Amino acid sequence: MASTNDTNQGQVPRFSLGRRRKGETTERLAHGLFLAAALVSVATTVGIVLTLFVQSVGFFSEISPWEFLTGTEWSPILKDENGARHYGVLPLVAGTMLVAVIAAALAIPTGVGIAIFLSEYAPDRVRKVLKPAIEVLAGIPTVVYGYFALTFVTPILRTIFPELIIFNALSAGLVMGLMIVPMISSLSEDAMVAVPRSLRQAAYALGATRFEVALRVVFPAALSGIVASFILAISRAIGETMLVTIAAGATPRMTLNPFESIQTMTAFIVQVSQGEAPRGSLEYNTLFAVGLLLFFMTLGMNVIGSIIVRRFRESY
Amino acid sequence: MAFADRDRRFRPRLPRRKQWGTVVYALLVLSILVGIVGLVTLIAQVLLEGVGWLSLGFITNFSSRFPERAGVWAALWGTVWIMGITFLFAVPVGVGAAVYLEEYAPKNRLTRLIELNIANLAGVPSIVYGLLGLAVFISLLGLGRTLLTGGMTMGLLVMPIVIISSREAIRAVPSTHREAAYGLGATRFQVVMGVVLPQAVPGIMTGTILAMSRAIGEAAPMIAIAALTFVTFAPTGPMDRFTVLPIQIYNWVQDPREGFSGLAAAGIIVLLVVLLSMNAIAILIRNKTQTRSEE
Amino acid sequence: MTNKPETSTAIDYVLQARDVAVYYGGFRAIKEIDLDVPRNQITALIGPSGSGKSTLLRCFNRMNDLVTGSSVAGKITFNGSDIYDHAVDPTEVRSRIGMVFQKPNPFPKSIFANVAFGLKINGFQGDLQEGVERSLKAAALWEDVKDRLHDGAQKLSGGQQQRLCIARALAVEPEVILMDEPASALDPLSTLKIEELMRDLSANYTIVIVTHNMQQAARVSDQTAFMTMDEDRAGHLVEIGPTNEIFTNPRNQKTEDYITGRFG
């Protein structure tokens, strides 16, 4: 049975000009939508930067940046015995760095050790089990770490150091260290695994033992990637909120003593957001001034870390 | 070359080096132990303290001054709502951005800027997102301390994760499939919707689950936008006030009164169980699709 | 048909293999190898790819030990001692029998540090600077690098990098140097330089070279061994003899086929 559609002579071809024009609009629309989606991320950054800056302008119109950045007393809400408030942010920075340094002191040797073990020593079967196990540490929400620090680590530390108070930088720092171990071990391991086998072979062929190959050839070759992992992990420690809010305390203090209670920048932000600070007030604006400082600190470290990572990737 | 007196020129001290090798090995094993023991201790502590507080009532009750009567019902529903809004906000936009970067973007400075930008956003502390939500969604747009605000804030937080993992999934689609489609006269949009995305869906799903896992555990940005901490109702709409599970846990952890520590542990168990299930689903998806591609 | 070398006390053999086989898991990669390597001469292993030349080479410095699941059967002696004896540490074997690899693989360190690495590892008692200089001179690289010893090794050309790897191996003062296709990744000019270096080195060192380049084997070696893959996919030694004999008057038909290009 002949279909009437078979006869095409003299008819307009199937791909008519009108149809193509409609397709083109769809194309342009799609392109635009996808581009818009990508630009949302740009808008987010702009939003963050603008927000922090604009609100901080309100803060800095009352408090000089110099006092903010160099003052060693921080009590923007409570007045001291003379009735004055203080806006020097250094105690918060000191608290943040104290916890971060303790965390790094634990996490760096542990993370690098795990990386070397997984990369140079562990047989495949062992690696398949251990690597995901360590990664689990990265997936645990930080409130859980805060709970762990407060209910387990602090009591144990207090049996060793009876003078330790409940909220202290040491507990928070140690648990923070555990939390960032996977970042260091994972990135360092990637860096070491990327070192070509031929280098290891050359070292073995010269009569090197396994630990000599690992420490004197592979580790130095992977060093930039390993150092980048440190920087990124410390950046994470600096930006962490819940763990330090729960376990490190709420007393801003210029101290290097890990047994003392301190307050980090992030914990301060939590404290004030939970409070009743009216919008636009100086108190409210401190949130953003501290937030701005926090943002720049982590941004700076992340940028340096990425530059180092990119440089090491290029060398192979 | 007089090899006979080579021994005078070299003192390889092999036994001593072997000893060092053992010491190094022991230290490496120690570092693994630190990680594993830390993990095991944490989970053990949570289980030991929390299991006793788990009950059906725990799930269905609201928060209460009395620990025996307290539960996570409000927090669970808040979490579900937040997850939903986060998903609706972050996934279409995130996948869309990934599609743009992989399929449309020319290799120019703007593209590089966008990529750099996304990488940076992934490293911004979560509480800064909370500040953003506070200033833009609450103050500027007047949306209030609602689920909508929380969901959008969280959506912005996890978007970089969605974008990065979606890009990987899209990149994994072989270019031959695209070329075949273009060769048949398909437009770019048709290639994306008909060829690339369908194949990238499993990878995108795993990435989304990853992002949602991150969102579920985040308390900081929600606190910053003042999600409530003592809630006695389950939210019914996006403009309601709310709390989420991690905040409920945080609240209980901070409470020095008797029993609340156990409540917190129980809440953590619930949270971890949800997380575990999500990750298990993600792994299942990944395994299923990997074996299929090997056929 | 194996060409069994004559056990003569007149020839000094630094390496000897007797009925050597190598297994990777259950798979036998090479079998029934009987081979004697004379001291201070260049022995070439030739044959088509897959014939097990590199596998055999790596037996001599126990590099095969690094491959999980591998095992070696038979006996290999170095100056009369069995190198696979359970009391022998492979690390020690490798400091006496050095290796140069196909693709130059200097460490991402300075030129100086590359050569000094083996000295430090093996507890060199002399002056490091002198040791490095001596090795670089022996590898015909000293003139090229003497003014930039602390530059990165990556800055050298391919041929220079390979000579650096040779210097690095020489620093440890091995009696034997195993070379696994040392010039195959290099341009023709660098290749000739390496071959010239090999001939100079053979005055003091024993060299065993694996090469897929027959002309190179003919140019450079004193003794040539031809290997090929059997039906059971195991490599075996077909024929071994003085180089000019192998290339002008081979005893085995398979050898002749390979040399004249009829296969491989």
Kindly report the CATH number assigned to the domain that includes residue C24: 3.40.50.300
Comparing CB atoms, the residue among B31, B45, B217 nearest residue A148 is B45
Q: Given an 8 Å threshold on Cβ–Cβ distance, is A205 in contact with C101?
A: yes
Domain that holds residue C192: 13-85+92-106+174-259
Domain assignment of residue B93, yes or no: yes
The CATH number that applies at residue A232 is 1.10.3720.10
Distance (Å, whole) CA C222 – CA C40:
10
Domain assignment of residue A80, yes or no: no
Domain that holds residue B117: 58-294
Residue in chain B closest to C124 (alpha carbons) equals B10
Domain assignment of residue B279, yes or no: yes
Confidence class for position B63, pLDDT limits 50, 70, 90: confident
Has residue B124 got a pLDDT over 90? Answer: yes
C91–B contact, CB cutoff 8 A: yes
pLDDT at position B292 is 58
Q: What is the pLDDT of residues C76-115, one digit of tens each?
A: 999 999 999 999 999 999 999 999 999 999 999 999 999 9
Distance (Å, whole) CA A122 – CA A11:
73
Neighbors of chain B with 3 or more C-beta pairs under 8 Å: A, C
Whole-structure pTM value: 0.89
CA distance A251 to chain B (A): 16
Strand C81-82's sheet: what is its strand order? Answer: C81-82, C70-78, C13-24, C27-38, C235-242, C223-229, C42-46, C206-210, C176-180, C97-100
pLDDT at position A197 is 94
Comparing CB atoms, the residue among B1, B9, B13 nearest residue C126 is B9
Who wins on pLDDT, A64 or C57? C57
Domain assignment of residue A232, yes or no: yes
A140 with A192, same domain: the answer is: yes
Has residue B97 got a pLDDT over 90? Answer: yes
Domain assignment of residue B27, yes or no: no
Q: At what angle do helices A169-193 and A223-239 cross, to 10 degrees?
A: 150
pLDDT at position A4 is 47
A30 with A152, same domain: the answer is: no
CA distance B168 to chain A (A): 16
Q: Given an 8 Å threshold on Cβ–Cβ distance, is B9 in contact with C92?
A: no
Residue C31 phi, psi dihedral angles, 5° rounding: -145, 155
- Structural domains counted in chain C: 1
Residue in chain A closest to B159 (alpha carbons) equals A41
The CATH number that applies at residue B261 is 1.10.3720.10
Which of B74-83, B168-177, C170-179 has the highest mean predicted lDDT (pLDDT)?
Answer: C170-179
Residue in chain C closest to B2 (alpha carbons) equals C204
**Which residues of chain A fall short of a pLDDT of 70?**
1-23, 312-316
Residue in chain B closest to A108 (alpha carbons) equals B31
Residue A172 contacts residue A99 (beta carbons within 8 Å): yes
Phi and psi based region of residue B144 (left: phi greater than 0; alpha: psi -120 to 50; beta: remaining): left
Distance (Å, whole) CA A149 – CA A146:
5
Residue B63 contacts residue B57 (beta carbons within 8 Å): no
DSSP for A126-166, written as a single string: HHHHHHHHHHHHHHS-HHHHHHHIIIIIHHHHHHH-TT--S
Domain assignment of residue C229, yes or no: yes
Domain assignment of residue A36, yes or no: yes
Q: Given an 8 Å threshold on Cβ–Cβ distance, is C94 in contact with A206?
A: yes
Comparing CB atoms, the residue among C103, C107, C165 nearest residue A217 is C107
CB pairs under 8 A between B and C: 31
CA distance A54 to chain C (A): 48
Q: Given an 8 Å threshold on Cβ–Cβ distance, is C101 in contact with A198?
A: yes
- Structural domains counted in chain B: 1
A50 with A95, same domain: the answer is: no
A199–C contact, CB cutoff 8 A: yes
Q: Given an 8 Å threshold on Cβ–Cβ distance, is C173 in contact with B14?
A: no
Contacts C113 to A, Cβ<8 Å: none
Domain assignment of residue B49, yes or no: no
A33 with A148, same domain: the answer is: no
The ipTM (two decimal places) reads 0.92
Q: What is the pLDDT of residues C21-56, one digit of tens each?
A: 999 988 999 999 999 999 999 999 999 988 999 999
CB pairs under 8 A between A and C: 62
Strands (E), chain C: 13-24, 27-38, 42-46, 70-78, 81-82, 97-100, 176-180, 206-210, 223-229, 235-242
Domain assignment of residue A4, yes or no: no
pLDDT at position A1 is 44
Report CA-CA distances (Å) from B214 to A249, B126, B275.
Answer: 25, 11, 9
Contacts C122 to A, Cβ<8 Å: 206-207
Q: Given an 8 Å threshold on Cβ–Cβ distance, is C91 in contact with A217?
A: no
Q: What is the pLDDT of residues B160-194, one digit of tens each?
A: 999 999 999 999 999 899 899 988 888 888 888 98
- Structural domains counted in chain A: 2
> Looking at chain A, how many residues does it have?
316
C183–A contact, CB cutoff 8 A: no
Domain that holds residue A175: 86-314
